[in-house]
A and B are shown apart, each in its own frame.
Chain A
Amino acid sequence: MSDTSKTISKIEIRGLRKSFGSNEVLKNISLDVAKGGVVALIGPSGSGKSTLLRCINLLVVPDGGSVRVGDTRFAFGDGSKLPDVRTLAKFRATTGMVFQHFNLFPHMTTLQNVMEGPVTVRRMAKADAEKLARAQLAKVGLAEKADQYPATLSGGQKQRVAIARALAMEPDVMLFDEATSALDPELVGEVLSVIQQLASEGMTMVIVTHEIAFAREVADRLIFMRDGVVVEEGPARQVIDNPSEAATRAFLSHFHRTGALPPANATL
């Protein structure tokens, strides 16, 4: 790791370990993300990439190692006691997460979904939260859907609302967990273009994805994981175009690696 990433890294993970029962999912993972950096995590299913992502905001509590985001650092394992629920909640409020299956709140309108974090967690006044939420919805191009319930939206629209909901917390870091994997192919582009816009605005992001061409375009670093270890890591284009490990080559051979991104408003 370079000296610059050490001094200004936004996310720092050291020696992370996690097991589910006898299944060791993460084996001594270390990772740095620079401020404003975009890291793509790729790998076959079961490689541990989603678990790693969930360890960054402690949705999954690691068995060992340490996690730091911004100025907050947690150590796990022998002798360190688990953070209490309030400390965890406060920490998670500073990281935004977008899920594969959107996980929008079905009993709330789109606007209420986006307002929920600011109102309940940040104790923002309703009027201020509504202003913020409308701005975030406009940013993802869904201002006119504010009063609709999630059930009436397409998958791509749902995921954009989920991004707006995460952004309304004004997080330092955004985590994307296969944000386009549950979408119909023609809806992938609109979500990717929102993520790309965030990247260009300098948001620090970790993206678990199967969209290799997108990772090549948007991420500055790429990490290939398999069986709970980092197999290869480096600048995204370099790893994708000239993987040095056989396992990375084998995995990447399943994908089209280059080519244009799906357009935002693709009509097939």
Chain B
Amino acid sequence: MYQWDFGILWSYRWLFLNGLGVTVGFTVVIVVLGLVFGLFGAFGSLSRFKAVRLTALTFIEAFRCTPILVQLIWFYYALPILAGVEMTPITASALALSLYGGSFYSEIIRGGIISIDKGQSEAGAALGMTPGQSMRRIVLPQAIKRMIPALMNQSIIQFKNTSLVSVLAVPDLVYQSQVAAHDSYRPLETYTAVAVAYAAILIPLTIIVRRGEKRLAVSE
């Protein structure tokens, strides 16, 4: 029978906290940047112009249909050779994860927008609104409500995907726990603690979002 000893992890607490800080900070950056890419992708794929639609679609499918691990390695190792763009591991992984997340956000945002009944934008147009006004005032406020659960879901996945940046030696929580596990010969305790740390951050967040959804649903 295995003898658990979580006490040993206490001496690595600063390592873990450091890693956790990098993981959370990284998530904030890739969610925000990802949403920006997602907005461009969504509106691009809904554009009146075929060239814009095609560009957006190419971006979305290129990042949606290839593995994130491959993208991370590709951005860090291949881009410098092919394009001469030298990037730190942090920049390369932030860019890859943001674009990867952005491709999924694009589809969520696009889906939310087209799920709103055409009669809504028609009613806006009949009042004399420009397409931009009816998008901002009528369609988006309703569409965002529908997007929130899916956006939250994707952001949770993004949070957990940050664990992959350890392959580029970005010192996130997983990378630091690898260090701790090698040093302490206690991988079971280390990775269990890591799993608990991820869940401890995500579960309260999901509860907050669920509450928010309920409040937003009142007007429907």
Contact = CB atoms under 8 A, between A and B. Distances in A.
Given A106-B219, A121-B133, A90 B120 contact: no
A87 B145 CA distance: 32
B128 A89 contact: yes
A35 B122 CA distance: 26
A93 interface: yes
A168 to B, nearest CB: 9
Contact of B128 (A93, A108, A151, A162): A93
A59 B141 contact: no
A103 B122 contact: yes
Interface string A93-111: 1111101010111111000
B129 A121 contact: yes
Interface in A110-142: 116-117, 120-122
> SS class of chain B's interface: helix, strand, loop or mixed?
helix
Contacts of B125: 59, 88-89, 92
Given A120-B133, A120-B137, A121-B133, A103 B120 contact: yes
Contacts, number: 75
B138 interface: yes
Contacts of A97: 123, 126
Interface in B113-137: 117, 119-120, 122-123, 125-131, 133, 137
Given A116-B137, A120-B137, A151-B220, A105 B120 contact: yes
B123 A105 contact: yes
Interface of A: 57, 59, 85-86, 88-97, 99, 101, 103-108, 116-117, 120-122, 149, 151, 162, 165-166, 169
Interface of B: 117, 119-120, 122-123, 125-131, 133, 137-138, 141-142, 145, 219-220
12 contacts: A59-B122, A59-B126, A89-B133, A97-B126, A99-B126, A105-B138, A107-B141, A107-B145, A117-B129, A120-B129, A120-B137, A162-B123
Given A57-B126, A91-B128, A120-B127, 15 more contacts: A89-B125, A89-B130, A89-B133, A90-B128, A92-B125, A94-B128, A99-B119, A99-B123, A103-B117, A105-B138, A107-B141, A107-B220, A116-B138, A151-B219, A169-B127
